[in-house]
Structure 1
Amino acid sequence: MVDCDPSPDPRLLLKVAETQDELEACFQILHDAYVAAGFMQPHPSGLRATIYHALPTTTTLCAKWEGRVVGTLSMIRDGVFGFPMQQAFDLSAVRALPGQIAEISALAVHPEFRQTGGAVLFPLMKFMHEYCVRYFDTRHLVIAVNPNRFPMYEALLMFKRLASQEVDAYDFANGAPAVGATLDLRTAKEQMRRAYGTQPGRRNLYDYFVVRDLPNIQWPKRRYRTTNDAVMSPALLDHFFNQRTQAFQGLDERQKALLWSIYEQAEYRQVLPMLAGGEVPTMQGLRRHARHSVLCPASLHVADAGVEPQLAAHVVELSLNGCQLRVAHPLPSGTEADATVNLGEQDTSRLRLSVVRHVSFDGECHVLGCRFRAVDDAWRRCVAALERGLSAADVHAS
Structure 2
Amino acid sequence: MHNQKSAPALNGEAKLRAHSAYTSRFNLQSKAPEGITFKLVETVDELTQTCKILYDSYTEVGYMKVNETGYRFTPFYVLPSCYTLIAKAGDTVIATTTIIIKSQEELPVESIFSLTDHLKWDRRTAEASSFTVHPNYRSHPDNIKHAMLKYLFQIARDTLGIHDLVIACTPEHMGLYEDVLLFQRLSDEVIDAYDYVNGTSAVGARLDLASMQADYANVYAQAPEWRNMYKYHFESDFESFQIPRHAATVYSGNLWSPEQLEALLKGPIKGAAALSPDDLNLLRQHYASTEYDSVFSCYGVSNPAPVLDTNIQAVVRLKTNKSVPVVVQRLEGNQIILSAENPSALLDGKTLQITTGDHNTAQAQIRVTSLGNGVNATLQEYPSSMRFIDLLLKNKGAATQSPRLTEYHLTTDLDEEDKVHFGS
> Structure 1: where are the runs of 5+ without partners?
none
Q: In structure 2, the residue corresponding to 1:390 is in which secondary structure? A: helix
**CA distance in structure 1 between the aligned counterparts of 2:389 and 2:151, rounded to whole angstroms:** 36
Cα displacement (A) at 1:129: 0.4
Instruction: Identify which of 83, 100, 103 aligns with 1:76.
Output: 100
Measure, in 2, the Cα distance between the counterparts of 1:133 and 1:349.
27
Alignment partners' CA distance in 1, 2:338 and 2:122: 14
Asked whether the 8 Å contact 1:314–1:326 carries over to 2, the reply is yes
Question: Using a 3 Å threshold, how does the CA distance of structure 1 residues 312 and 231 change in structure 2: closer, same or farther?
Answer: same
Look up the SS of the partner of 1:14 in the other structure.
Answer: strand
- In structure 2, the partner of 1:112 is 136
Query: 161-170 vs 318-327, which deviates more?
Result: 318-327
TM-aligned CA distance change 1:293 to 1:238, over 3 Å? same
1:340 matched to 2:364? The reply is no
Task: Tell me the C-alpha RMSD between the 2 structures.
Answer: 4.2
Shift of 1:59: 0.8
Task: Say how many residue pairs are matched.
Answer: 376
Task: For 2:45, give the aligned amino acid.
Answer: D
- The residue that corresponds to 2:310 in the other structure is 293
Moved more, 246-255 or 262-271: 246-255
Give the counterpart letter for 2:136 in structure 1: E
Q: Distance in 2 between matches of 1:5 and 1:179?
A: 29
Alpha-carbon spacing, 1:118–1:176, altered in 2? closer, same or farther (3 Å)? farther
Amino acid at match of 1:152: L
Q: Distance in 1 between matches of 2:165 and 2:255?
A: 22
Equivalent position amino acid for 1:385 in 2: E
Alignment partners' CA distance in 1, 2:30 and 2:104: 38
In 2, the alpha carbon distance for the partners of 1:114 and 1:180 equals 23
Matches within 5 A, 1:222-237: 222=246, 225-237=249-261
Give per-residue Cα distances to partners, 1:215-268, cap 9 Å, x unaligned: 121112359743432332222222222222334235443333333222212232
Shift of 1:348: 7.1
2:302 maps to 281
| Gap change, CA 1:338 and 1:61, over 3 Å in 2 | closer
Using the alignment, how far apart are the partners of 1:80 and 1:319 within structure 2?
11
Partners of 1:201 and 1:109 lie apart in 2 by 24
Q: Structure 1 CA distance, aligned partners of 2:197 and 2:248?
A: 36
Q: Is the 8 A contact 2:124 2:162 kept in 1?
A: yes
Corresponding residue for residue 89 of structure 2: 65
Q: 1:32: which partner in 2? A: 56
- Unaligned 5+ segments in structure 2 are 1-22, 396-413
1:385 and 2:416 correspond: yes
Q: How far is the alpha carbon of 1:161 from its aligned partner?
A: 1.7
TM-score, structure 1 normalization:
0.77
Shift in CA distance, 118/264, structure 1 to aligned 2, threshold 3 Å: same
Question: Shift of the alpha carbon at 1:150?
Answer: 0.9
CA distance in 2, matches of 1:97, 1:328: 6
Distance 1:267 1:372, change over 3 A: closer
1:91 aligns with 2:122: no
The match for 1:145 is 169
Higher relative contact order (CA 8 A, sep 6+): 2
Alignment of 1:241-256 (within 5 A): 241-256=265-280
- Check whether the contact 1:99–1:138 (CA below 8 A) recurs between aligned residues: yes
Relative to the length of structure 2, the TM-score reads 0.73
* Structure 1 position 41, deviation (Å): 2.0
Is 2:157 the counterpart of 1:133? yes
* Candidates 199, 206, 209, aligned match of 2:233: 209
Range 132-141 or range 327-336, more displaced? 327-336
Pick closer, same or farther for the CA change 1:319–1:192 going to 2, 3 Å. Answer: same
Deviations 1:282-334 (A, max 9, x none): 64xxxx775151457x89999x88x69xx999766669989778899999745
The change in CA–CA distance for 1:196 and 1:368 in structure 2 (over 3 A counts) is farther
The match for 2:145 is 121
Measured in 1, the distance between the counterparts of 2:119 and 2:104 equals: 15
**1:8 matches 2:8:** no
CA distance in 2, matches of 1:88, 1:179: 9
1:372 positional shift: 9.6
Note the 1:165-180 alignment, pairs <5 A.
165-180=189-204
Aligned CA distance change for structure 1 residues 72 and 340 (closer, same or farther; 3 Å)? same
Preserved contact between residue 128 and residue 167 of structure 2 (Cα < 8 Å):
yes
**8 Å contact kept, 1:241–1:248:** yes
Give the CA deviation at 1:152.
Answer: 0.5
**CA separation of 1:46/1:161 partners in 2, compared to 1, >3 Å: closer, same or farther?**
same
Q: What SS does the aligned partner of 1:169 have?
A: strand
The 5 A counterparts of 1:179-218 are: 179-218=203-242
Q: C-alpha deviations, 1:130-159, integer Å up to 9, x for none? A: 111112221111111111111100111111
Closer/same/farther in 2, CA of residues 90 and 337 from structure 1, 3 Å limit:
closer
Partner SS for 1:166 = strand
**Which residue does the alignment assign to 2:403?**
none
% identical aligned pairs: 24
**C-alpha deviations, 1:264-289, integer Å up to 9, x for none?**
122323222755xx4x4364xxxx77
Alpha carbons 1:49, 1:240 under 8 Å: kept: no
